[in-house]
Amino acid sequence: MADEEYRLLPATKGRVQCLPEKKQPLENCGFCIHCREFRVGNTFVKSPSLAYCMKCRVTEQVDYTKADAVRCADRKGEGFHSITNIIS
């Protein structure tokens, strides 16, 4: 998926508006199959949820307290979907 196909969700007080009726804590995004990156300052940091992706194998940590946005691949309005449902 190209960068322009992702949603950039602004973070306010440690939460993002995942769905129109639901805000999620940034920590949940770190375990969501849709989350791709967190914006920390002027840098995008890959999501810890990609640690189990055979292609990505992300191992870096995200300081959620400094993140001001989330790059999200959810284009169908499914909302938070935990990677633990897939890897367990």
Total-model pTM: 0.83
Q: What is the SS3 assignment for 84?
A: helix
Question: Could you write out the DSSP letters of every residue in 14-77?
Answer: TEEEEETTEEEEHHHHTTBTTEEEEEETTEEEE-GGGGG-TTT-------TTTEEEEEE---S-
Q: What average pLDDT does the segment 81-86 reach?
A: 80
Confidence of residue 48 (pLDDT cuts 50, 70, 90): confident
Q: Where are the domains of the chain?
A: 3-87
Provide the pLDDT for residue 2. 61
User: Which distant-in-sequence residues (6+ apart) come within 8 Å of 76 by Cβ?
Assistant: none
